[in-house]
């Protein structure tokens, strides 16, 4: 036991020195506070205990004392932290020295010591994990736990190769998930999961294990945290070559180690996600999942088909969930050759009253633009989409109208047959006479579900012409593009998406008033008061409909 | 072309017929005769020879060595010189150059180092080719030509003289118009004994004269017979000359008369001036003038002139010298006013269509100009009766000159009669044309004054005018009190102080008006505006600008803490802001925009009553019909944002939304623009308040499920009332009855809004689509399960509105036509033919940089010129060398000749001597031989 201990001694001494310095400064601060001895003694004691352990095996019992100190973190966090730091150093040294490795060729006494030490290690782990719940100590505890994990992986077994201590890791993760401290999870994903491929791998594994073990016992909070954690794991590796950052170096000999295989990584992720989804999602979670589906979930899946049911279910739900599911469904159609029957009918049904008011509007339009991008679609169907959106535009906010119009323009350009909706000259005299006498009934069937049957192609876009006199000048101007000559090749939709009342107002407000605005030349006689009943004056709309209390 | 050059020459000579076979003497003679008879033949011959010469000299022409570039472009034979294109004639050019040099350079050379001499410039003196006669003729014609043009235009005297100067004994040499000469001359001539003339010649002349007279008589007879004898040119000219002389004389006469008259006037000037300035009571000047007249009589000229100049300047500067506007009749002023309004209306329409954007600036200027002009005119009219119209023209002068105005010293206190008249006048116009209705009655006099001011402001565009009037009326109504009040803080009978500090921030304003009754605020504001009128101090403009902004803030503040009886006050304040906005449009606009910005950033979806008041004020102060307006557009957006995004949580939200819906509709009353959010909000409100939820979808508007307790229930006994601003305050706890009445009020107001909206927008092309949901919603509301919970009166209105909507929808369906938006002229396909340079020259540089191109051009020209100059100089040098050589050769030759001659002479002499010697010797020999013999 002697020689291996001697090796880290200088380092330890240095550390001690540093610690002493730290202590002295603390001491000074403390003395200013007034209670020296009470605070000083535990630190000094910890140092003493640590030093003794290093000196000889005889003092191994000090470990117990230290563990006790560490376990009392709730009562005395200030002592618990240095104690657990000291313990960490001790155990890492012991591990490095191989003291904790069970060997068959050693004496029984040594084996007992090893066993005892292993038990203490277990205690220490427990105390570390319990520290995760403490607001102040959590992040330190996490760092210590991970350091311990690394040391264990390298030295705990006899093999000379690192073996990832899965159980310890699973425990760490479980305590992380159950800890009330939010920021350590962020820290964990930032410092470890994002950085190291193997940690990510084992995180997925541990999460899956956690979920499958507990199934229904998982609380809503924990579920949320798991969800957040899963969401935060983003960067999907492109190829096996990207897998090179490891926390614990995996064995070099075996080429087929799962850590080095991309498909294994993906499989872990997929399983974790599936296990999570298996538990059922709340509406919010579902929305969130759908939102990031195409970007950060589906790429993890080696078999995205597994998502098919989930997505089609969501897609059929209707409302904003459908809108969100659309991108996932599209991903499957595009990547996995999913055959979605009556896709366009379904798409058409998504154009309901709330669609243009939804905050996922621009997202939807991006997709819609992709779906209807082909020039081989039947003009009848495209016309249905145009007419339906035109109807919706009658009740839409300006920011939505602004998107629709350029898109219409592009469709008109692509499907010249639909331009009859803007320009329809009566072909015969009789027809004209009929129109003169009876007017025109709109042939469009708004209730029809099938976009091929709505007769929209025979209709006209009166709605858009009405919007040419929209109250917002820019909207009115954009709406006029359909009655101008179609000289432009196409509008870039991106320029028109992502507007809102706020941004429109901001645009107006950012212009400084330089030129004197026109002032109404006539000062009205009445604004709030009612006109004398005998006079010829007429009340304004406001006065006639609102009671201003005067008369 | 075979054979040698010589042979070819012979052949071509032969062809041309210049040489031919030997001719007999007879033929030769004949030919010679022909030649003499027809000189052109000789010419032909010369031509032919020249062409042959040309043809045989290969260096005569410079041609394109390889012939024409494109054979097809010419139909001449390929080998022909003409076809190849003659580019230059080096031989000829050389000869010309040589000749020129000989004329210039050679002369110079010969004159070199020679000094002095006489140059004879007489014509033809050194031309040996001219004969003496030719010389004389030429000299004579030259002299004639020199004298031909008259030297002076106004030279009256030499008109009838002969142009030519050559006379003989005082008589013209070539008298070719003797017959035109007056007979008297002849007679004189006849009588004059002339020693030179022989008797015979006199007899001869007499005879000739008789003959002439006879002829004249004959002519006369002929003239009698045919009166239109054609005049000779000479006669015509003479007539013209005579006429012009007469005119000249007449002009001269007239001028003289004028001069006389002027002199007379000059003498009478003092009296006239006295007459002109009669109205000025300037006795002193009169005295001076009399002295002036004396002086003029005494011919003290410089002083008079100076005085006269001063007078003229005075007259020009006098305002009375400017033309006055005619006094307008009432009809005319009315017409003018209506025209002005029409113009403003047209401008508004143009802005509504969004057309005035580019020319806005100028127009505005124009408007101001016009407005000012109008104001002036009006003023002139109004005050016409009171005092001198000249002085009223210019506002500044009115006070500055002060001559016509009776009260001289007091600047801002014209008499009350003028002003009263003025105001009344404006007031009448206002009432007739602008608005229809009577004034509100106010208890205090100031109020009335203020009212009329406002009217004046709305009538007249000119801000200056408005404010001046305001001050004036103010001053009149308060007269002396006003002046004193400035110093001693007095209050009037209502307890309102006469003076206020001008608040520059809202805090100041609040401080000043702390404890001040809100209803009296308009008076205070009006006094502040008068006290801080921009005319009174240069800083006042800025102050009032700030004050107008503060006023906007204060209106919002009052709105937030409103009391029902404050609304007339708020209205007055708003109108004050409006009238201030005419002079401070930017400041007021900024204040409103700042408020809207605050709304947007702090409470976009929870508006206060103050915000509502401000939005209403925006709608009245600025033209809401404009396509774009810096204030109205953001305000409209703010309204739409609330209507579109607010999901009502309580009844007050519905009330606020209803107010904004009314406002939105009122904004668009004139321009009839569509506001989707308003429809959405109204329909959603009705759906939310209905007792039962509609089972089927009523339209494409978004429906928000209402909060519990919003749906109307059991309100059948509630009276229908109007909404008021108190309903808009959130978080109030209402009793059940109050709540029900509020709900009913909201429903009834919303229904009324829908009705008004349908009436406003019934011309829109998609009216059917827009209002069909409204009809469905109203029907749903009027249906049994819902109507049971509503008061009967409301149900009746609902039914009425429903039937109205149904009728309008039916009309809209009938009026609908298919769209025909694209009756555009077909667009021409864009051509992509490159733009060709017509005369492209590959050697030329088509530099786009103009300066550089010009520089390059200049440089090239310089180079070319330089080369040319060098070449010329070389040629000159060669020429000089040649000449020198020639001269030298000549000299040498002469020398040689002389030498040879001398040698020959000597030799001859020698030979002679030798011969003599030989002869002598021979003789001697013979003698000797003889002697011997």
- DSSP character string of B392-451: HSSHHHHHHT-SSSS--S-TT---HHHHHHHHHHHHHHIIIII--SPPPP-SSHHHHHHH
**C-beta of residue B575 within 8 angstroms of C-beta of residue A522:** no
Q: Can you tell me the distance from the alpha carbon of B730 to that of B752, in angstroms, rounded to the nearest whole number?
A: 23
Q: What is the DSSP letter of A73?
A: T
Q: Can you tell me the distance from the alpha carbon of B393 to that of B826, in angstroms, rounded to the nearest whole number?
A: 58
In-domain check, residue A311: no
Say yes or no to pLDDT of A298 above 90: no
Q: Can you tell me the distance from the alpha carbon of B475 to that of B472, in angstroms, rounded to the nearest whole number?
A: 5
Decide which of A120, A135, A163 is a domain's last residue: A163
In-domain check, residue A293: no
Q: Can you tell me the distance from the alpha carbon of A507 to that of A499, in angstroms, rounded to the nearest whole number?
A: 10
Closest residue in B to A392 (Cα) is: B700
A550 with A425, same domain: the answer is no
Closest residue in A to B463 (Cα) is: A521
Q: What confidence score (pLDDT) does residue B256 get?
A: 95
Hunting for tokens 């979605």 — which residue is that? A340
Q: Is A471's CB within 8 Å of B604's CB?
A: no
Render pLDDT for B277-309 as a digit per residue (tens, 0 to 9): 765 554 444 445 555 455 555 556 778 888 888
Can you tell me whether residue B63 is helix, strand or coil?
strand
In-domain check, residue A186: no
Residues 6+ apart with CB under 8 A from A139: A183, A184, A187
Provide, as residue numbers in chain A, all residues whose Cβ is less than 8 Å from the Cβ of B629: 517-518
Q: For chain B, which residues score pLDDT lower than 70?
A: 1-2, 67-69, 71, 73-85, 126, 149-206, 214-229, 278-300, 319-324, 356-495, 932-933
A424 with A449, same domain: the answer is yes
Decide which of A124, A144, A163 is a domain's last residue: A163
Angle between helices A220-232 and A283-292 (to 10 degrees): 10
In-domain check, residue A174: no
Q: Can you tell me the distance from the alpha carbon of B435 to that of B530, in angstroms, rounded to the nearest whole number?
A: 25
Residue B618 contacts A, CB cutoff 8 Å: no
Token output for B692: 């039962």
Q: What confidence score (pLDDT) does residue B227 get?
A: 52
Q: Is A513's CB within 8 Å of B630's CB?
A: yes
Beta strand residue intervals within B282-429, DSSP E: none
Q: A307: pLDDT confidence band, cut at 50, 70 and 90? A: confident
Q: Is B819's CB within 8 Å of A545's CB?
A: no
Q: Is A501's CB within 8 Å of B344's CB?
A: no
Provide, as residue numbers in chain B, all residues whose Cβ is less than 8 Å from the Cβ of A405: none
Q: Is B633's CB within 8 Å of A473's CB?
A: yes
Gap from A493 CA to chain B (nearest CA, Å): 23
In angstroms, what CA-CA distances link B86 with A130, B59, B60, B65, B596?
Answer: 114, 11, 10, 10, 86
A498 with A530, same domain: the answer is no
Say yes or no to pLDDT of A168 above 60: yes
Decide which of A140, A163, A186 is a domain's last residue: A163
Hunting for tokens 């809102």 — which residue is that? A500
Q: Can you tell me the distance from the alpha carbon of B90 to that of B82, in angstroms, rounded to the nearest whole number?
A: 16
Q: What confidence score (pLDDT) does residue B890 get?
A: 92
What does residue B324 show for φ and ψ, rounded to 5 degrees? -90, 150
Say yes or no to pLDDT of A9 above 60: no
Provide, as residue numbers in chain B, all residues whose Cβ is less than 8 Å from the Cβ of A505: 596, 600, 634, 637-638, 641
Q: Can you tell me the distance from the alpha carbon of B100 to that of B88, in angstroms, rounded to the nearest whole number?
A: 18
Three-state secondary structure of A461-478: CHHHHHHCCECCHHHHHH
Q: Can you tell me the distance from the alpha carbon of A44 to that of A47, in angstroms, rounded to the nearest whole number?
A: 5
DSSP conformation letters of A209-275: HHHHHHGGG--HHHHHHHHHHHHH-----SSGGG----SSPPPSS-TT-GGG-HHHHHHHHHHHHHH
Provide, as residue numbers in chain B, all residues whose Cβ is less than 8 Å from the Cβ of A511: 630
User: What is the total count of domains within chain A?
Assistant: 3
Nearest to B674 among A421, A471, A520 (CB): A471
Q: What confidence score (pLDDT) does residue A464 get?
A: 92
Q: Is B585's CB within 8 Å of A519's CB?
A: yes
Can you tell me whether residue B743 is helix, strand or coil?
helix
Q: Is B666's CB within 8 Å of A540's CB?
A: yes
Alpha-carbon Rg for chain B, nearest whole angstrom, is 57
Mean per-residue pLDDT, A498-520: 86
Gap from A512 CA to chain B (nearest CA, Å): 9
B874: left (phi over 0), alpha (psi -120 to 50) or beta: alpha
Nearest to B764 among A469, A540, A545 (CB): A469
**C-beta of residue B212 within 8 angstroms of C-beta of residue B179:** yes
**C-beta of residue B47 within 8 angstroms of C-beta of residue B87:** no
Q: Can you tell me the distance from the alpha carbon of B456 to that of B477, in angstroms, rounded to the nearest whole number?
A: 17
Render pLDDT for B599-612 as a digit per residue (tens, 0 to 9): 888 888 888 888 98
In-domain check, residue A283: no
A489 with A543, same domain: the answer is no
Can you tell me whether residue B60 is helix, strand or coil?
coil
Q: Can you tell me the distance from the alpha carbon of A92 to that of B652, in angstroms, rounded to the nearest whole number?
A: 68
Residue to substitute from B569, B636, B637, interface A, most A β-carbons within 10 A: B637
Q: Is A469's CB within 8 Å of B673's CB?
A: yes
Q: Is B676's CB within 8 Å of A395's CB?
A: yes
Q: What residues 677-716 of chain B have any CB closer than 8 A to a CB of chain A?
A: 677, 679-680, 697, 699-703
Provide, as residue numbers in chain A, all residues whose Cβ is less than 8 Å from the Cβ of B636: 471-472
A542 with A399, same domain: the answer is no
Average the pLDDT over each of A215-229, A294-308, A436-450, B435-449 and give the range with the smallest value: B435-449
In-domain check, residue A54: yes
Q: What confidence score (pLDDT) does residue B244 get?
A: 94
Provide, as residue numbers in chain B, all residues whose Cβ is less than 8 Å from the Cβ of A467: 674
Closest residue in B to A529 (Cα) is: B568
Nearest to B753 among A352, A439, A545 (CB): A545
- Residue A486's nearest CA partner among A409, A379, A382, A373 is A409
Residue B283 contacts A, CB cutoff 8 Å: no
CA geometry: angle A326, A365, A501, nearest 5 deg? 125
The Cβ of residue B340 has, within 10 Å, a number of other Cβ atoms equal to 19
Residue to substitute from B545, B697, B817, B828, interface A, most A β-carbons within 10 A: B817
In-domain check, residue A335: no
A11 with A127, same domain: the answer is yes
Q: Is B564's CB within 8 Å of A548's CB?
A: yes
Provide, as residue numbers in chain A, all residues whose Cβ is less than 8 Å from the Cβ of B620: 520, 524, 527
Q: Is B629's CB within 8 Å of A517's CB?
A: yes
**C-beta of residue A411 within 8 angstroms of C-beta of residue A365:** no
Hunting for tokens 């009020």 — which residue is that? B745
Nearest to A394 among B617, B700, B702 (CB): B700
This model's pTM is above 0.80? no
Q: Is A471's CB within 8 Å of B675's CB?
A: yes
A159 with A52, same domain: the answer is yes
A413 with A484, same domain: the answer is yes
Q: What residues 2-21 of chain B have any CB closer than 8 A to a CB of chain A?
A: none
Residues in chain A: 551
**C-beta of residue B615 within 8 angstroms of C-beta of residue B639:** yes
Q: What is the DSSP letter of B719?
A: P
Residue B669 contacts A, CB cutoff 8 Å: yes
DSSP conformation letters of B784-853: HHHHTTS-HHHHHHHHHHHHHHHHHHHHHHHH----B---PPPPPPPP------TT--TTS---S-HHHH
Q: What confidence score (pLDDT) does residue B284 get?
A: 47
Mean pLDDT of chain A: 76
Provide, as residue numbers in chain B, all residues whose Cβ is less than 8 Å from the Cβ of A550: 564-565, 567-568
- Chains A, B: CB contacts within 8 A come to 280
Provide, as residue numbers in chain B, all residues whose Cβ is less than 8 Å from the Cβ of A472: 633, 636-637, 640
Alpha-carbon Rg for chain A, nearest whole angstrom, is 36
Mean per-residue pLDDT, A443-449: 89
Hunting for tokens 């798991």 — which residue is that? A226
In-domain check, residue A524: yes
Say yes or no to pLDDT of A186 above 90: no
Render pLDDT for A85-121 as a digit per residue (tens, 0 to 9): 777 777 777 777 666 666 666 677 777 777 777 777 7
A551 with A427, same domain: the answer is no
ipTM for the whole complex: 0.71
Q: Can you tell me the distance from the alpha carbon of A224 to that of A205, in angstroms, rounded to the nearest whole number?
A: 18
Provide, as residue numbers in chain A, all residues whose Cβ is less than 8 Å from the Cβ of B638: 505
Provide, as residue numbers in chain A, all residues whose Cβ is less than 8 Å from the Cβ of B366: none
Mean per-residue pLDDT, A129-155: 72
Q: Is A353's CB within 8 Å of B641's CB?
A: no
Q: Can you tell me the distance from the alpha carbon of B254 to that of A543, in angstroms, rounded to the nearest whole number?
A: 81
Q: Is B764's CB within 8 Å of A398's CB?
A: no
Domain range for A526 is 518-551
**C-beta of residue B460 within 8 angstroms of C-beta of residue B378:** yes
A485 with A549, same domain: the answer is no
Residues 6+ apart with CB under 8 A from B10: B19
Q: Is A542's CB within 8 Å of B662's CB?
A: yes
- Residue A164's nearest CA partner among A203, A207, A115, A208 is A203
What does residue B820 show for φ and ψ, rounded to 5 degrees? -135, 80
| Partner residues linked to B284 by β-bridges | none
Q: What confidence score (pLDDT) does residue B866 get?
A: 96
A439 with A543, same domain: the answer is no
Residue B764 contacts A, CB cutoff 8 Å: yes
A522 with A546, same domain: the answer is yes
Q: Helices marked H in A372-418 — which ranges?
A: 379-393, 398-414
Token output for B664: 């939105």
Nearest to A392 among B700, B721, B816 (CB): B700
- Residue A344's nearest CA partner among A373, A320, A310 is A373
Residue B665 contacts A, CB cutoff 8 Å: yes
What does residue A546 show for φ and ψ, rounded to 5 degrees? -125, 145
CA geometry: angle B416, B419, B423, nearest 5 deg? 135
| Partner residues linked to B172 by β-bridges | B167
In angstroms, what CA-CA distances link B379 with B385, B394, B468, B675, B823?
Answer: 11, 10, 11, 44, 53
Token output for B179: 């017959």
Residue environment code for B273-297, b if the CB has 16+ CB neighbours within 10 A, otherwise e: beeebeeeeeeeebeebeebbebbe
């Amino acid at each position: 036991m002697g020689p291996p201990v001697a090796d880290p001694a200088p380092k330890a001494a240095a550390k001690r020195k540093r610690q002493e310095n730290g202590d002295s400064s603390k001491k000074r601060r403390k003395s200013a506070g007034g209670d020296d001895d009470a605070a000083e003694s535990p630190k000094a004691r910890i140092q003493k205990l640590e030093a003794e352990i290093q000196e000889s095996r005889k003092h191994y019992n000090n470990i117990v004392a230290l563990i006790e100190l560490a376990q009392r973190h709730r009562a005395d966090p200030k002592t618990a932290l240095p104690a657990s730091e000291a313990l960490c150093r001790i155990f890492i040294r012991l591990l490095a020295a191989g003291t904790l490795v069970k060997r068959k060729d050693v004496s029984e006494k040594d084996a007992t010591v090893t066993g005892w030490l292993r038990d203490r290690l277990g205690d220490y782990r427990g105390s570390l994990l319990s520290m995760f719940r403490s607001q102040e100590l959590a992040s330190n505890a996490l760092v210590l736990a991970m350091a311990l994990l690394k040391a264990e992986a390298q030295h705990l077994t006899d093999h000379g190769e690192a073996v990832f201590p899965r159980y310890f890791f699973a425990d760490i993760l479980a305590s992380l998930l159950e800890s009330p401290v939010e920021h350590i999870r962020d820290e964990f994903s930032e410092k470890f999961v994002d950085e190291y491929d193997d940690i990510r791998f084992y995180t997925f594994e541990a999460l899956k294990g956690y979920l499958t073990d507990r199934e229904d016992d998982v609380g809503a909070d924990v579920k949320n945290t798991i969800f957040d954690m899963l969401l935060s794991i983003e960067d999907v590796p492109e190829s096996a070559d990207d897998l090179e950052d490891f926390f614990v170096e995996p064995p070099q000999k075996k080429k087929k180690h799962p850590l080095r295989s991309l498909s294994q990584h993906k499989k872990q992720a997929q399983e974790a996600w599936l296990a999570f989804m298996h538990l059922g999602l709340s509406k919010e979670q579902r929305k969130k999942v759908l939102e990031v589906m195409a970007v950060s979930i589906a790429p993890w899946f080696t078999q995205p088909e597994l998502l098919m049911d989930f997505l089609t279910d969501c897609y059929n739900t209707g409302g904003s969930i459908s809108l969100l599911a659309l991108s996932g469904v599209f991903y499957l159609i595009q990547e996995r050759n999913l055959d979605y029957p009556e896709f366009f009918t379904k798409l058409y049904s998504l154009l309901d009253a709330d669609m243009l008011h939804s905050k996922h509007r621009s997202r939807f339009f991006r997709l819609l633009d992709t779906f209807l991008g082909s020039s081989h679609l039947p003009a009848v169907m495209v016309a249905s989409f145009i007419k339906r959106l035109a109807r919706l535009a009658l009740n839409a906010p300006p920011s939505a109208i602004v998107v629709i119009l350029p898109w219409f323009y592009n469709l008109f350009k692509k499907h010249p047959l639909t331009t009859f909706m803007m320009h329809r000259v009566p072909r015969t005299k009789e027809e004209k006479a009929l129109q003169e006498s009876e007017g025109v009934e709109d042939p469009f069937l708004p209730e029809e579900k099938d976009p091929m049957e709505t007769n929209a192609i025979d209709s006209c876009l009166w709605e858009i012409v009405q919007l040419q006199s929209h109250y917002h000048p820019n909207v009115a101007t954009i709406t006029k593009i359909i009655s101008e000559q179609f000289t432009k090749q196409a509008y870039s939709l991106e320029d028109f998406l992502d507007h809102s009342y706020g941004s429109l107002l901001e645009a107006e407000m950012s212009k400084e008033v330089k030129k004197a605005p026109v002032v109404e030349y006539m000062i009205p006689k009445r604004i709030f008061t009612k006109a004398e009943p005998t006079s010829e004056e007429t009340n304004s709309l406001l006065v006639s409909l609102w009671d201003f209390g005067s008369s | 072309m075979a054979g040698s050059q010589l042979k070819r020459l012979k052949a071509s000579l032969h062809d041309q017929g210049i040489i031919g076979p030997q001719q007999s003497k007879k033929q030769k003679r004949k030919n010679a005769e022909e030649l003499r008879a027809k000189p052109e033949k000789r010419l032909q011959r010369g031509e032919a020879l020249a062409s042959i010469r040309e043809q045989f000299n290969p260096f005569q022409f410079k041609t394109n060595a390889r012939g024409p570039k494109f054979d097809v472009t010419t139909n001449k034979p390929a080998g022909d010189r003409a076809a190849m294109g003659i580019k230059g004639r080096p031989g000829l050019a050389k000869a010309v150059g040589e000749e020129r040099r000989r004329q210039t350079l050679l002369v110079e050379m010969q004159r070199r180092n020679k000094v002095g001499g006489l140059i004879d410039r007489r014509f033809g003196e050194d031309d040996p080719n001219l004969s003496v006669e030719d010389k004389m003729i030429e000299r004579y014609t030259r002299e004639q030509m020199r004298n031909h043009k008259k030297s002076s235009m106004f030279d009256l005297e030499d008109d009838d003289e002969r142009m030519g100067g050559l006379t003989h004994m005082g008589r013209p040499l070539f008298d070719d118009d003797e017959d035109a000469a007056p007979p008297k001359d002849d007679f004189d001539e006849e009588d004059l004994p002339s020693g030179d003339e022989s008797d015979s010649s006199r007899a001869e002349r007499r005879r000739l004269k008789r003959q002439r007279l006879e002829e004249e008589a004959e002519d006369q007879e002929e003239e009698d017979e045919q009166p239109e004898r054609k005049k000779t040119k000479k006669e015509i000219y003479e007539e013209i000359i005579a006429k012009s002389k007469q005119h000249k004389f007449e002009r001269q006469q007239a001028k003289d008369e004028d001069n006389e008259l002027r002199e007379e006037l000059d003498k009478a000037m003092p009296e006239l001036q006295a007459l002109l300035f009669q109205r000025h009571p300037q006795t002193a000047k009169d005295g001076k003038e009399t002295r002036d007249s004396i002086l003029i009589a005494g011919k003290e000229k410089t002083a008079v002139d100076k005085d006269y100049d001063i007078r003229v300047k005075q007259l020009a500067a006098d305002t009375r010298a400017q033309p006055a506007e005619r006094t307008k009749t009432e009809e005319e002023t009315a017409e003018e006013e209506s025209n002005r309004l029409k113009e403003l209306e047209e401008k508004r329409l143009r802005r509504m269509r969004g057309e005035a954007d580019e020319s806005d600036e100028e127009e505005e200027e124009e408007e101001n100009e016009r407005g000012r002009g109008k104001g002036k005119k009006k003023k002139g009219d109004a005050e016409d009766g009171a005092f001198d119209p000249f002085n009223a023209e210019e506002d500044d002068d009115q006070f500055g000159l002060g001559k016509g105005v009776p009260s001289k010293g007091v600047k801002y206190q014209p008499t009350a009669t003028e002003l009263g008249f003025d105001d009344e006048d404006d007031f009448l116009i206002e009432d007739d044309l602008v608005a229809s209705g009577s004034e509100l009655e106010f208890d205090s006099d100031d109020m009335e004054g203020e009212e009329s001011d406002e009217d004046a402001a709305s009538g007249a565009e000119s801000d200056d005018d408005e404010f001046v009037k305001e001050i004036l009326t103010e001053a009149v109504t308060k007269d002396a009190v006003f002046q004193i009040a400035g110093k001693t803080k007095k209050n009037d009978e209502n307890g309102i102080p006469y003076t206020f500090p001008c608040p520059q921030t809202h805090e100041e304003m609040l401080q000043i008006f702390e404890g001040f009754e809100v209803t009296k605020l308009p008076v205070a504001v009006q006094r502040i505006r008068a006290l801080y009128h921009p005319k009174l101090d240069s800083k006042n403009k800025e102050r009032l600008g700030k004050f107008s902004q503060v006023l906007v803030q204060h209106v919002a503040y009052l709105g937030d803490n409103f009391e029902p009886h404050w609304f007339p006050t708020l209205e007055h304040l708003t109108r004050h802001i409006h009238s201030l906005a005419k002079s401070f449009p930017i400041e007021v606009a900024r204040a409103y925009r700042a408020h809207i910005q605050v709304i947007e950033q702090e409470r976009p979806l929870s508006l206060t009553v103050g915000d509502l008041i401000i939005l209403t004020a925006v709608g009245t102060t600025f033209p809401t019909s404009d396509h774009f307006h810096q204030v109205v557009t953001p305000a409209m957006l703010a309204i739409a944002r609330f209507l579109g995004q607010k999901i009502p949580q309580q009844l007050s939200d519905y009330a606020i939304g209803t107010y904004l819906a009314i406002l939105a509709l009122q904004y668009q009353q004139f321009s009839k623009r569509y506001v989707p959010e308003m429809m959405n909000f109204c329909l959603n409100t009705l759906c939310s308040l209905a007792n039962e939820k509609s089972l089927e979808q009523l339209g494409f508007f978004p429906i928000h499920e209402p909060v519990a307790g919003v749906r109307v229930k059991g309100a059948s006994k509630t009276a229908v009332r109007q909404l008021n601003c108190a309903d808009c305050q959130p978080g109030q706890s209402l009793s059940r009855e109050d709540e029900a009445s509020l709900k009913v009020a909201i429903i009834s107001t919303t229904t009324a809004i829908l009705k008004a909206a349908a009436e406003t927008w019934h011309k829109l092309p998609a009216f059917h689509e827009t209002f069909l949901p409204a009809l469905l919603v109203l029907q749903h509301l009027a249906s049994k399960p819902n109507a049971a919970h509503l008061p009967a009166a409301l149900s009746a209105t609902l039914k009425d509105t429903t039937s109205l909507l149904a009728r309008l929808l039916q009309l809209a369906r009938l009026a609908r036509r298919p769209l025909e938006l694209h009756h555009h002229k077909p667009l021409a396909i864009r051509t992509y033919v490159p733009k060709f340079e017509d005369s492209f020259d590959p050697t030329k540089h088509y530099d786009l940089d103009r300066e550089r191109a010009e520089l390059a051009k200049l440089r090239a020209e310089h180079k070319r010129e330089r080369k040319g100059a060098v070449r010329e100089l070389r040629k000159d040098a060669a020429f000089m060398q040649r000449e020198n050589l020639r001269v030298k050769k000549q000299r040498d030759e002469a020398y040689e000749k002389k030498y040879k001659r001398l040698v020959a002479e000597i030799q001859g002499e020698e030979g002679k001597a030798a011969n003599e010697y030989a002869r002598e010797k021979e003789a001697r020999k013979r003698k000797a031989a003889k002697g011997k013999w």
